[in-house]
Structure 1
């Protein structure tokens, strides 16, 4: 009888193995396949013909819709006469900075070639956008919205809205991206913008139709190049519900300041008499105020928009600071997982070290540059991630930028790479001694904005930190002559861009890369180089991997 028992055990094991494999195949997260063709095309955003960069003939580009943990396979064909890359503002690319789409991680897509991005929106929900990351392409289009929806059965802290609208707003120039780039390379600042756009159009260029009595979600992103904006809807309140993947306390506002690179979600109830109302975007903290509008159209309305456009705040900093302090985490709401957001007690974790990043505007070799801690980023001939993977010497070295400002005026050019260890928990202070609002973004991460204040940050500033319910996000503002402090868990191995969202400043050096390192070679910690990775510079001629 023993041989029979042995055969039964083997048969049972085989059945279990087949069952496991079958379940694994059928439990894999869904895939969504997109094909994008990037071309030039004529656009008229401010009534003047310009050469835009289109995706599938669209300006702005196609909306991306995904559900938490979906896999996005996006095949991008470059039909331009110049190299091209797309980056994904707010997507974290867990273990996979290879997909980040900035020059520090990816070779540009040459003209006539394609690159397939493989992106998983792992453990993410919320509102984001994509944009072209090379040169000044962002001034020509090729940006679009990203909506990541919660999985079924994961509770969302508000009833399903009757509709969901994306608003991509920001400043715009009549000069084309090549001329803007030449201005910067010749040592000049960007000029003041010529206007503002909402979804690629100017004054009253879009209409959003609503039914009286129903509630709608508006996802607003500032995709501009140089200015903060204020968003408002005539006669309607804005109930804030989400900021870059974090559900917030549902405070109500008459208008919202949205700084460069930031994204917000608000609920708007159509509770006014049936007519049309202005949707207004205007510049913030500029002496010359630019304004543009769209139309909130009530179904069956026969009365168009009329009267003066509702004014918004202009130069006042105090109201913006006050508003920023009211944006808090909803501790009881679920995020991408069913457990409450507040179950992660960031305030009980002691940071292992403090990093301070101070922006400046030096002249180097007689030309305007921008710097972080006295170092103005100089792009190498080979993407940093490829140089790191293939151990190519001479491209960069870790520690080429100090973790504190040097206090001197001797700024210099360097390929800035700061080192950090996997699983560190760090405090980063953004110090701004200039007279303009700064906007900082960190790829690959969501961080906690624990505090901000005026003047010089010191250790005593920590007594004013919010260690309970501050919001987690990927882009934060720093007010003039002020500081902003964040806590961040370095749980994502890779080479990650930290940059100014003011695109002229970013182009002229206000950026660096954070190399989050582990000696482990396990795929559990970081994926290897993709087999379809483009190779350029000193990585040309090398092999990626066979599978």
Structure 2
């Protein structure tokens, strides 16, 4: 097998190679009209020390966290992944919408895992997107061993951005961490128990004071913060410095200033920080939210001309205050005059003037099924089939799942196991209500989409709750929190054909069944609506022996 170190090739390749490449990329199902970026990634095990204890981590090209993907709106990303683990592996792309192309989503409902010793090349386009996202390993509990990294999608040069270019652009990959291996954590869940409390928090793969961000006095820096942990919401803050929020998962925001920011599991934010304090070192602090005890870790904000180290205790932050977090969430609004990935203002899409054609209410629960703890959506605890659902549809394989296996309203009956798939019509505009009657915070993600968070409040949702919706300038994002014994409502324009995972971002809950797939369907076979199956698609389960397509 030919090995290659990761690199970005120049788009100015020879004409002969370009012609051959266009033929290949057409087979992969990518857009030949926009620039390409090429990556070759080797997935291996390696020793890591996030909390000062040696552990076996999952590395990408020897790195933990993995390489950052820097790209521009509409760029094509050709990522060749070689799996050198002794188990199957998949990468998913949290927040990248995979327009018309759920074939590349990288979850088990759409893709066969990459077998040990084998390769798969993802062909992804950052179509009509800007912002901050991340990739992660989606199988089992691999995420607990690393294998994740940041994705930065920059605006095209001709698109105005509502803030001056920062002096630097820093990634903050943070979240909880366990000293137990991912296999041990999986065993705990398979045995019917919830995960224990995490052992600590990390920032960019390191524990207390293990990472340093260097700044120049008087300059302004962008910090892209993503919670890549398994189960825990966190609060982010920088000692002595305020933060100006500028972007949330692809939406330019009203530029409110915060001293600290809640980041729930799976969420991403961008802030600007001005280095306007006396030159010394300052704590960058991440602490857990809604946990007992409160976990804390720190990194260092270092002024380049500083010789004064941090001292004393890092500044405290909110701990269990729910109202504080709700009020902050409601304060985050969309910048209506700023351009998004296209030159037209974000406010030119008047989502509040569209009447939803359907209301879906999703209630999470924690049933005991066959003597074991499971998690469920509308009483259905998801069970992965032996064949990815997308392949089942394409090859018309029967007996794997049935549409309507999950209701679009909760029945509050006993939990049961099923491969749950909900049907939805392409180009429909829907309302989704996440209802949380449990005493824990939930974090929900929808692959393939960005949605408008129109409302959240305590108690049970009713039709009267719509009177309190923000129908003008709420933020659009792909991951949203639902507070304990509360609800959150979103509007979604179903403009992306495919098989899309709707899941808890609490990875224990996702693994034990709090997820399902939304099949956004059109009878059209036009490539304008959905790209064809990639020629290099891996086939497994009941899809073995089938053929993808000749060209």
Residue 402 of structure 2: SS of its match in structure 1? coil
Aligned-pair CA distance for 1:474: 0.1
In the other structure, the counterpart of 2:460 is 456
Residue 401 of structure 1: SS of its match in structure 2? coil
Aligned-pair CA distance for 1:308: 1.1
Which one of the candidate residues 428, 432, 437 is aligned to 2:436?
432
Residue 171 of structure 2: SS of its match in structure 1? strand
Q: Which runs of 5+ in 1 are unaligned?
A: 1-20
In the other structure, the counterpart of 1:445 is 449
In the other structure, the counterpart of 2:339 is 334
1:306-325 residue CA offsets vs partner (Å, 9 max, x unmatched): 11110010011010000001
Question: Aligned partners of 1:115, 1:333: CA distance in 2, in Å?
Answer: 38
Matched, 1:58 2:63: yes
In the other structure, the counterpart of 1:352 is 357
Which one of the candidate residues 182, 189, 196 is aligned to 1:184?
189
In the other structure, the counterpart of 2:149 is 144
Question: Aligned partners of 2:183, 2:292: CA distance in 1, in Å?
Answer: 27
Q: How does 1:116-265 map to 2 (within 5 A)?
A: 116-265=121-270
Matched, 1:93 2:98: yes
1:457-508 residue CA offsets vs partner (Å, 9 max, x unmatched): 0000000000000000000000000000000000000000000000000000
Residue 462 of structure 1: SS of its match in structure 2? helix
Matched, 1:492 2:468: no
Question: Aligned partners of 1:381, 1:139: CA distance in 2, in Å?
Answer: 24
Residue 166 of structure 2: SS of its match in structure 1? coil
Which one of the candidate residues 317, 321, 328 is aligned to 2:326?
321
Q: How does 1:67-78 map to 2 (within 5 A)?
A: 67-78=72-83
Question: Aligned partners of 1:102, 1:447: CA distance in 2, in Å?
Answer: 20
Which one of the candidate residues 259, 270, 274 is aligned to 2:275?
270
Question: Aligned partners of 2:525, 2:270: CA distance in 1, in Å?
Answer: 39
In the other structure, the counterpart of 1:4 is none
Residue 509 of structure 1: SS of its match in structure 2? coil
Question: Aligned partners of 1:31, 1:302: CA distance in 2, in Å?
Answer: 43
Aligned-pair CA distance for 1:528: 1.2
Question: Aligned partners of 2:164, 2:314: CA distance in 1, in Å?
Answer: 31
Question: Aligned partners of 1:417, 1:528: CA distance in 2, in Å?
Answer: 21
Which one of the candidate residues 515, 531, 537 is aligned to 1:527?
531
Aligned-pair CA distance for 1:545: 0.4
Matched, 1:30 2:35: yes
Question: Aligned partners of 1:274, 1:262: CA distance in 2, in Å?
Answer: 31
Matched, 1:308 2:313: yes
Q: Which runs of 5+ in 2 are unaligned?
A: 1-21, 23-30
Which one of the candidate residues 533, 542, 545 is aligned to 1:541?
545
1:93-142 residue CA offsets vs partner (Å, 9 max, x unmatched): 00000000000000000000000000000000000000000000000000
Residue 39 of structure 1: SS of its match in structure 2? strand
1:285-325 residue CA offsets vs partner (Å, 9 max, x unmatched): 11211000000000110101111110010011010000001
1:63-110 residue CA offsets vs partner (Å, 9 max, x unmatched): 000000000000000000000000000000000000000000000000
Question: Aligned partners of 2:125, 2:50: CA distance in 1, in Å?
Answer: 33
Which one of the candidate residues 368, 372, 381 is aligned to 1:376?
381
Residue 184 of structure 1: SS of its match in structure 2? helix
In the other structure, the counterpart of 1:343 is 348
Matched, 1:393 2:365: no
Aligned-pair CA distance for 1:407: 2.3
1:312-363 residue CA offsets vs partner (Å, 9 max, x unmatched): 1001101000000100000000000000000000000000010000000000
Question: Aligned partners of 2:299, 2:183: CA distance in 1, in Å?
Answer: 29
In the other structure, the counterpart of 1:15 is none
Matched, 1:412 2:416: yes
Question: Aligned partners of 1:150, 1:300: CA distance in 2, in Å?
Answer: 32
- TM-score (normalizing by structure 1): 0.95
**CA, structure 1 residues 27+136, in 2 after alignment: closer, same or farther (shift >3 Å)?**
closer
Question: Aligned partners of 2:472, 2:204: CA distance in 1, in Å?
Answer: 36
Aligned-pair CA distance for 1:427: 0.1
Residue 189 of structure 2: SS of its match in structure 1? helix
In the other structure, the counterpart of 2:514 is 510
Question: Aligned partners of 2:149, 2:156: CA distance in 1, in Å?
Answer: 22
1:19-56 residue CA offsets vs partner (Å, 9 max, x unmatched): xx9xxxx9820000100000000111111110000000
Question: Aligned partners of 2:395, 2:404: CA distance in 1, in Å?
Answer: 19
Residue 283 of structure 2: SS of its match in structure 1? strand
Question: Aligned partners of 2:304, 2:197: CA distance in 1, in Å?
Answer: 38
In the other structure, the counterpart of 2:427 is 423
Larger radius of gyration: 1
RMSD (Å), alpha carbons: 1.0
**CA, structure 1 residues 27+442, in 2 after alignment: closer, same or farther (shift >3 Å)?**
closer
In the other structure, the counterpart of 2:89 is 84
In the other structure, the counterpart of 1:13 is none
Residue 460 of structure 1: SS of its match in structure 2? helix
Matched, 1:474 2:481: no
1:355-387 residue CA offsets vs partner (Å, 9 max, x unmatched): 000000000000000000000001100000000
- TM-score (normalizing by structure 2): 0.94
Question: Aligned partners of 1:370, 1:103: CA distance in 2, in Å?
Answer: 18
Question: Aligned partners of 1:518, 1:28: CA distance in 2, in Å?
Answer: 26
Question: Aligned partners of 2:243, 2:325: CA distance in 1, in Å?
Answer: 16
